[in-house]
Each structure stands twice: as structure tokens, then as C-alpha cells.
Structure 1
Amino acid sequence: MAALFIDSKYQGKGYGKELINFIKEKRKNIQLKVYKKNDEAVNFYLRNGFVKKEELLDEQTAFNGCAVERQSFTLW
């Protein structure tokens, strides 16, 4: 999966959590990156069993962020 987006009018209804749980059932390890300043996304992954792994700097955009794995993620 390249990205996870939930339309704002459907956020907070459990759809994102359902998608993450489905992926967890299918994959042992999950890696992802999330923009560090996207507090809602960072907190979503923290609430769903992920932990921060490392902080990165995206060389193309110069944004700081984080990478995420099944039990960890990295900020960029």
C-alpha cells in the first residue's frame, strides 16, 4: 500500500483503524513514513500499536518526517 488517506468527513469513525488491522492480519512487518508535523497521522499510528523508529530528512522536499514499521515508525 502506497498511502492511507481517509476523507475528513469519515475520519474518527474507525475506518482507518479497520484498514490498519486488515493490513496487520496480512503482513507481519509494516514499514511506512509519515510527515512529522502531521500530528493527526502520527498520533493515529501511535494509537494503533506503532512506535517511532527514527527521524529522517526527505532530501527531495527537505521535510522532516518519520519512518514507521509494524511496531515502530520513523518520522521525516
Structure 2
Amino acid sequence: MSDTYERLVALLAEGFGLEAGEIDPELTFSELEMDSLALVELGLAAQQEFGVPLADEDIQSGDSISQAAKTIEAKMASLS
């Protein structure tokens, strides 16, 4: 997995009480039982971690962890 994915998993583990070993790349945020408030908080934490602007619609409950990492990577690439 990519560095972005690994850092995103670390954010989930540190900030949301999830076990890093239990997070699968294809799990969706809804399967992790993250509500809309948790997704907003994750978006804010990801913005700080990765230094990219994220809109609320960039990370959705139906997105997998790997999809979110790819979205963040695309945002970082567009800033380069």
C-alpha cells in the first residue's frame, strides 16, 4: 500500500479509536461505523496531515479507505 494509505490508517487509528490491523483497504467508512461528523473530523485531520484542501464530498461514507487515499493523492498531485 501507498504511504498515503498508511498515513490515513494511522489517522484513523489515532483519532478514531480503530485498530490499524483491523482496517482493510476495501472497508468503507460506513462499514467502520463512521458517521457524517466523524467523516468531517477525518477530513479536517487529513487536511492537516497531508496539506491539501478537502471538501466534505471528497470523503464519503460509501468510499473505501483505499479510495480516500487515492483522492488525497490526486489532491496532492494537483498542488505539485
Answer whether TM exceeds 0.5 for this pair: no
Bigger radius of gyration, 1 or 2? 1
**Structure 1 length-normalised TM:** 0.30
More helix by share: 2
**Structure 2 length-normalised TM:** 0.29
More strand by share: 1
Task: Work out which structure has the larger RCO, using CA pairs closer than 8 Å and 6 or more positions apart in sequence.
Answer: 2
